[in-house]
Each structure stands twice: as structure tokens, then as C-alpha cells.
Amino acid sequence: MVAEDKLKSLFGWSLESKIGQSSWQSLVRAFQVRHLIAHRMGVVDEEYKTKSGDQYAISGRKIELSSTFVSEVLYLVLDLSKKLVACF
């Protein structure tokens, strides 16, 4: 990810290091879901599967989005935001 690389070069730390690998992977997947919805009308493609690591997604079908997933992502974004504020 471009933002992740820039943070590493500017500050010497990564977003992943602030929240852990599992949480970071969830946020990466969420960003890729957002990309599908914004640019592909929610239809899964191979790029999404590769970048997100979502092994259950089926190319050509719409991505499934649950309220649980959205709630988890909101919690992760809030957690990451608090940890970033603490850095500065």
C-alpha cells in the first residue's frame, strides 16, 4: 500500500504495527470492498481477491456486506485513529 510505505519512510513505523496484523488485514479488506463498491458496482474481480486476500469471494458476483462487517471496520478505524493521535 502506498500510504503504508510513505508512513514507514517518513516516520519509521507502519499502521500495521499500531494495530496488529489481523486488524490491519481487516482494514485492507475493507478498503478493497470500498473500492469495489465505488468503482465496480460491488462486483468482485481478480484484483480484489488478490489485494484483499478474501478467499471466499467469487469473481463476477457482488461482494457480500453485512452490518457486522461494517461495525467491525468502524471499530478498527476508531482504534487506529486513537493510536495515531497518540503518536503525534
Q: Report how far residue 70's alpha carbon sits from residue 13's, in angstroms, rounded to the nearest whole number.
A: 27
Q: Report how far residue 72's alpha carbon sits from residue 61's, in angstroms, rounded to the nearest whole number.
A: 23
Q: What is the pLDDT of residues 5-53, one digit of tens each?
A: 887 888 888 888 889 999 999 999 999 999 999 999 999 999 999 999 9
Domain hosting 24: range is 20-82
Within a domain: residue 87?
no
What's the N-to-C CA distance of the chain in angstroms? Answer: 22
Q: Is a pLDDT exceeding 90 seen at residue 60? A: yes
What local confidence, expressed as pLDDT, does residue 87 receive?
76
Q: Report how far residue 80's alpha carbon sits from residue 41's, in angstroms, rounded to the nearest whole number.
A: 28
- Nearest 5°: phi and psi at 14? -120, 160
> How many distinct structural domains can be found in the chain?
1
Within a domain: residue 73?
yes
CB 55 within 8 A of CB 69: no
What local confidence, expressed as pLDDT, does residue 5 receive?
80
Within a domain: residue 43?
yes
Within a domain: residue 2?
no
Q: Is a pLDDT exceeding 80 seen at residue 4? A: no
Within a domain: residue 42?
yes
What local confidence, expressed as pLDDT, does residue 72 receive?
95
- pTM of the predicted protein model: 0.84
